[in-house]
Amino acid sequence: MLAVGLALLSSFLFALAAALQQREASTLRDDQAGSISMLLILVRRPLWLGGVAADAGGFVTVAAALAVGKLVVVQPLIVTVLLFALPLSSRLTGRRIQKADWVWAVVLTVALAVIVIVGDASDGKDTAANRDWLIAAGIAAVPFLVTMVVAGRRSGATRALMLGIAAGILFGFNDALISTITKTLDDGVLQVLAHWAIYVLVVVLVVGTWLQQASYQAGALQASLPAITGLEPVVGMILGLTIFDERFRAHGPFAVSLLVTAMGVAAVAVVVLARAQGRADGTVAVLATEPDPA
């Protein structure tokens, strides 16, 4: 329950960060996208820095959740960021949330509850073998490189989607690396600093954040947010089930069917709510760029 509570808190902070950062990133010109100047401009904007602070808080709380919980439990709860993002965007834009969005929010909440309760995940391993990490990274590198090549040749919604996919893949690895690092803290800080995971985490976090900001600028959040929000838990869960040997302990055909159905329903709800969030944040971007009538 502590892991669940921390995961939900991190989702709220990440939702706040996304709302603030997307509002600012979407106001940049196309020629500033993906450049160093993009970050230099953004760091001078208080709202964007507020988003960074919320991101940092989310990072700390998700690390705490992964320290006491399992990837296959914490990762599905990451998508609750959408449940917090919708009311936050509604607050920023003054628009009411559609009834259908509330319905899908309830559906997602129920589906996640089923995954956590019925899944009844096992502990698995605290760390994974280096060979397993290399195999996982090699497999993930294929879609990552493909999306980066396509993003470099396209613009608009397609570019935003491709960059979102790349960011989602990296963030999935990011969470798995955090899990590894937090669960080796008992060996001491020096041991953590001597492990390769802490340095790879820094690279993955920096590159993933850069791709996320570039996807926000490239097009409406309707294009990028479903990929980022959906792929992060999927990649994290796959890593938990494969290299960390975590398992769902659903017993009997009914429980297994219920678990699989809940995962499918949650996936559909994530896409629907992410698109709704994209529409709302698109309004935020328009309001942010409109001149003041006064």
Q: Tell me what pLDDT residue 285 has.
A: 47
State the DSSP code for 11.
Answer: H
Q: What percent of the chain has pLDDT over 90?
A: 16
Whether the per-residue pLDDT at 228 is higher than 80: the answer is: yes
CA 143 – CA 169 distance, rounded (Å): 9
Whether the per-residue pLDDT at 33 is higher than 60: the answer is: no
251 or 208: which carries more pLDDT confidence?
208
User: In angstroms, how far is the first alpha carbon of the chain from the final one?
Assistant: 50
Whether the per-residue pLDDT at 148 is higher than 90: the answer is: yes
Name the burial class of residue 270, with classes exposed (0-12), middle (13-18) and buried (19+) by CB atoms within 10 angstroms of its CB. Answer: buried
109 or 38: which carries more pLDDT confidence?
109
43 or 133: which carries more pLDDT confidence?
133
Q: Where are the domains of the chain?
A: 2-289
Whether the per-residue pLDDT at 86 is higher than 90: the answer is: no
169 or 42: which carries more pLDDT confidence?
169
Whether the per-residue pLDDT at 185 is higher than 70: the answer is: yes
Give pairs for 178-181: CB < 8 Å, separation 24+: 178/62, 178/63, 178/66, 179/66, 179/67, 179/71, 179/240, 179/244, 180/126, 180/127, 180/128, 181/63
Q: Tell me what pLDDT residue 294 has.
A: 37
Residue type, 7: A
Q: Tell me what pLDDT residue 95 has.
A: 62
- Give me the mean pLDDT over the 132-154 stretch: 93
167 or 47: which carries more pLDDT confidence?
167
Question: How far out from the chain centre does Cα 15 lie?
Answer: 9
CA 134 – CA 4 distance, rounded (Å): 30
Show the tokens assigned to 107. 């559906």
**Exposure b/e, 233-259, CB count within 10 A at least 16 = b:** bbbbbbbbbebbebbbebeeeebeebb
Cα–Cα distances in angstroms (integers) from residue 9 to residues 60, 63, 65, 103, 247, in the given order: 10, 11, 10, 22, 25
Give me the chain's average pLDDT, please: 80
Taking only the tens place, the pLDDT of each residue in 231-249 is 888 888 889 888 988 877 7
CA 269 – CA 249 distance, rounded (Å): 24
